[in-house]
Structure 1
């Protein structure tokens, strides 16, 4: 048997114990982070303005809070040990484990960002935190479990907890598993990640976290026109994401040219404050709850309002991600996709609302994650309508062709030149 072959049934059963433990602990850490940021958000946006006799989302309060949020995050990045981890603009959902000394700063930065209304989600930082905690704990208490496996399980557990179902993690890691050039059953390899993700998702349900799905009218039987309009929505949504991809490094470079994180993150907070005044509270925060408000009350928003919300949130995502805040890009992208879909539903009333939402989300999430599985999953999960899946599986194909040659929505740091490969001065030159 090859050394990298999947473990047998007995080994899987034994390894399922730490996998389940990682799932539960990862979900608890996510829940705690959300709870603390939620309490702080309530204080900032309700209790304190009420005590001062101010409207919670008045222009000056909104601008001031977001500017101070930027300053606070900048101070954490500048002064805390480990500088709150790597710049989120450079990170993917899964990354190498961080040292424990980095975690307090990272947790503080993301908590301030979430509470202060920054347009980023918790996904990248919380996966990094959970991975570091799991790797450290298993190195102490379960040394037989390989570190790469522990990191994989922590990522799967956190994704399961974030989306409230292990299906999301299974789909994400199917691509990783498929890339492994080894034999064995796919489900043997997915067994432990699904166990961790299932434990994480179940723990979040026990803790009372609502499911991802929102209520929309059932899609029903697809028609030929649905394929055309759905593809149009997905392609336009992906196009917005592609514009963001090419603008992202320019904005990131402009902010980071200021060098000191207190300066460029405070400036980023001020810009986010202006955008929040223009777009209103719906364009603030991570975006998932705000997407739910759009879906629950679609008739309350005109096509012009939805177009404004889409553009403002897209710009806010770019500013927040480029200006040194710590957070993920998936949840804000979901809001952008929902707003885009509802815009098309508003201008094409005959288009089923569930199809419009799912296609809007599919397009931009495909750009942000570069994963067709997760784009399909989020599109269907938001609507709670599995009858959309067949037509989405067709619509995703041309959308993927549009996206596949485009760079990632991520700043990829170039390694320094290898001195071995550089031309060496000739000794005869006397240099």
Structure 2
């Protein structure tokens, strides 16, 4: 007699029987359909963010008579962005997206009424220069649109079907951003805690939606001429075989990333309740603080203040390609000031924590590569993986991201990245801050 029979609980669904059912075939068809609008929305959302950033930080200063962006310019848009995000959080339904200081986690199916706040708050965050990425709002939008599609097509649809299509929408959205359905699958899988014999049945609709979404992106590229999104860094210096010295560096980078990530998260979590008590007043102040970090970097180095602002998604390839133009001091300074701006942004703005962690990790690894025994590409890859796991707590995703960024060297780099990620993950588990979900029930 099975445990379920003894306890009286219903037996879990059989994956083989589920795959053969008509309902599952219908679910696959709906997931494929959902992939089209979700990827289209994601495509134009990202293009709108890029266009807004270019206008606010490049075109507008020139229209006002300056030959380029003045050094003090970030003091204008960032407080405005902070105020707009505060208004969204205070007056629109929901919380305008998840609180990024509390980690990258699944929030269930997003209500359609919450999408307004999520889109507007994240757009204001990204367009006005705060140090967060687009991945969390895109996942929320994909989930919300997927759930809405089910409810529109079939009133009274079971919660399990709504959740499955919502997850497929999230898959499609994040895969279009990352340029890889596989990395997107691991990200969603680890975030949602998926596992067991039902894993394949749950993942397949999402993978289908992501594949359809990727095809839609290619078609939109041909139609609009805007170009597609990819995280890979072509033309990076080659890396062949790991050495014993590099293994020791992996241990050191894992430790350093654990300490840096813990400080960033603790500062963000400490600031969050203080800002939340007076959002309308303090979020513009937070924007000024982020702007101050950017201006301090721009005035202290020969590099642009934009290296500190934004998510770092588009700046990361340039950072790696121009490694020879960065001194160790400039790299350490951008790590310090971007980390400070990142912590402030995590505490109150709305967006995702992934891309700033990748940039900070890459810059930190590149700074260490000025010391003996550490090639630049290996340092950047290990820093990316270690900082990703320090901030996200998703080890498989953290290992895959450097492979996505450095595809030609992925095979040689992966052993070093794994060591750095594991060391960082274990240390953060011991010294990292607890979020609400980490605390045991009382």
TM-score by length of 1: 0.87
Distance 1:270 1:173 in 2: 34
| Distance apart, 1:106 and its partner CA | 2.1
SS of 1:121 mapped into structure 2: coil
Q: 1:407/1:222 Cα in 2 relative to 1: closer, same or farther (>3 Å)? A: closer
Judge conservation of contact 2:254–2:423 (CA < 8 Å) in 1.
no
Q: 1:160/1:93 Cα in 2 relative to 1: closer, same or farther (>3 Å)? A: farther
Q: 1:89/1:237 Cα in 2 relative to 1: closer, same or farther (>3 Å)? A: closer
1:18 aligns with 2:30: yes
Within a 5 Å distance, the mapping from 1:7-406 to structure 2 comes to: 7-9=18-20, 11=22, 12-82=24-94, 84-90=96-102, 92-142=104-154, 143=157, 146-175=161-190, 180=195, 183=197, 186-206=199-219, 207=221, 208-215=227-234, 216-256=236-276, 259-279=277-297, 280-322=305-347, 324-348=348-372, 350-384=373-407, 385-387=409-411, 388-406=413-431
Q: 1:150/1:91 Cα in 2 relative to 1: closer, same or farther (>3 Å)? A: farther
**Range with greater deviation from structure 2 (71-80 or 378-387):** 71-80
For 1:276-306, what per-residue CA distance to the aligned partner results, in whole angstroms no more than 9, with x for missing partners? 1012111111111111210111111100000
| Distance apart, 1:87 and its partner CA | 3.7
Q: 1:393/1:61 Cα in 2 relative to 1: closer, same or farther (>3 Å)? A: closer
Distance 1:410 1:230 in 2: 27
Distance 1:352 1:203 in 2: 38
**Range with greater deviation from structure 2 (265-274 or 100-109):** 100-109
| Distance apart, 1:2 and its partner CA | 4.2
Equivalenced residues, count: 411
SS of 1:351 mapped into structure 2: coil
**Range with greater deviation from structure 2 (406-415 or 383-392):** 406-415
Q: 1:69/1:38 Cα in 2 relative to 1: closer, same or farther (>3 Å)? A: same
Equivalent position of 1:4 in the other structure: 13
Q: 1:234/1:394 Cα in 2 relative to 1: closer, same or farther (>3 Å)? A: closer
Distance 1:99 1:328 in 2: 19
Q: 1:282/1:395 Cα in 2 relative to 1: closer, same or farther (>3 Å)? A: closer
**Range with greater deviation from structure 2 (187-196 or 216-225):** 187-196
Distance 1:139 1:411 in 2: 31
SS of 1:8 mapped into structure 2: helix
Distance 2:56 2:131 in 1: 16
Distance 1:31 1:163 in 2: 12
Structure 2's unaligned 5+ residue stretches are 1-9, 222-226, 298-304
Cα RMSD after superposing both structures: 2.7
For 1:283-330, what per-residue CA distance to the aligned partner results, in whole angstroms no more than 9, with x for missing partners? 1111111112101111111000000101111111110111x2111111
Judge conservation of contact 2:81–2:125 (CA < 8 Å) in 1.
yes
Distance 2:13 2:269 in 1: 38
Distance 2:346 2:435 in 1: 9
